[in-house]
Amino acid sequence: MGKTAFIFPGQGAQVCGMGQDFYEHTETGRKIFDQASELLGFSMPELCFEKNDRLDITEYTQAAMVTVSVAMLKVMEERGFRPDVTAGLSLGEYCALAASGVMTPEDAILTVRRRGILMQEAVPAGIGGMSAVLGMNAEAIDQVVDPIDGVQVANYNCPGQIVISGRLEAVAQAAEQLKAAGAKRVLPLNVSGPFHSALLKEAGEKLGKFLENVKISDPVIPYAANVTAEYVTRAEEVKPLLERQVYSSVKWQQSVERMIADGVDRFVEIGPGKTLTGFVKKISRDVKAVNIEKLDDLEKLKEL
């Protein structure tokens, strides 16, 4: 019998209307949204369901995404669905922490609100950027990028899609060299900062200070950490990894490969979109992957 992983998307997957049917048609989903509103001092349903310009601003995006995914998770748990392991892409790691019993939903939402503000403030607009590198393997990208000061790999997403991050001029220099070395395309991303780069080290350290007052428990369910692509099984490992995660590479492909090696053959993406489902299918054709973003999608779980 194989294992099931619950996986959670990161920033960039947000969309107006996300989680609305969980809010309107389940008491458990509504409770998570209302708790978030109370904790943060603004209306989470309004942020997520009504057209506005805040949903794409980092300090709001992160809290909104975690609220939505955790609301979906709690409804699934209530209906008897449980994972064997969990993981989340970047911001999504906080949903994995909630699923693993490491952090309460309330603390996860409060922490990512602080994380979003720190990341938003970390680098002035126009200083840093990110680009997706298509059609080139990780090892070849590392060889080009590592010698260039001010740029690094931000995300190892899946074969053929890796993201670099750092100072704008260094990212542009890397892009030219990567294309010369065989990359099919290097596409600048429309993001508000150079996430998962050394430019955010100070933001990570400030988050570390904030985490000093957040209660962390031993995982009830193991989760794969972005920074190491290894399972975390003890509470004391969590805070240093979350601090480093802000300015370190996200080893998503490696995390999925680690879970597959452990016997995971079913991946359930919980949250808006199906980005991670697509990544999993590119990483391995031997596993099943489904996404849950609507209440009706829970029917898909019967097929796994």
Amino acid symbol at 183: A
| Contact between residue 96 and residue 220 where contact means Cβ atoms under 8 Å apart | no
The answer to whether 128 and 197 have CB atoms below 8 angstroms apart is: yes
Q: What is the mean pLDDT of the chain?
A: 96
Predicted confidence band of residue 193 (pLDDT cuts 50, 70, 90)? confident
Q: What pLDDT, on a 0 to 100 scale, did the predictor assign at position 163?
A: 96
Identify the pLDDT of residue 107.
Answer: 98
pLDDT in tens, 276-294: 999 999 999 999 999 999 9
Averaged pLDDT for residues 196-206: 96
Average pLDDT over every residue of 184-188 = 95
pLDDT in tens, 72-127: 999 999 999 999 999 999 999 999 999 999 999 999 999 999 999 999 899 887 89
Question: Smallest Cα–Cα separation from 171: which of 156, 195, 150?
Answer: 150
CATH H superfamily, domain 128-188: Malonyl-CoA ACP transacylase, ACP-binding (3.30.70.250)
pLDDT of residue 190: 78
Rg (CA), the chain: 18
Per-residue pLDDT tens digits for 160-183 = 999 999 999 999 999 999 999 999
Q: What is the pLDDT of residue 158?
A: 95
Give the catalytic positions in this structure.
90, 196
Residue type, 137: N
Nearest by Cα to 19 from 73, 60, 97, 87: 73
Instruction: State pTM to two decimals.
Output: 0.96
Residue 1 has pLDDT above 80, yes or no: no
Domain spans, the chain = 3-123+198-303, 128-188
For residue 304, the model assigns a pLDDT of 78
pLDDT at site 256: 98
pLDDT at 19: 98
Give the count of beta carbons closer than 10 Å to the beta carbon of residue 208: 15
CATH of 3-123+198-303, one of 1.10.10.10, 3.40.366.10, 2.40.50.140, 3.20.20.70: 3.40.366.10
- Of all residues in the chain, the percent with pLDDT exceeding 90 is 93
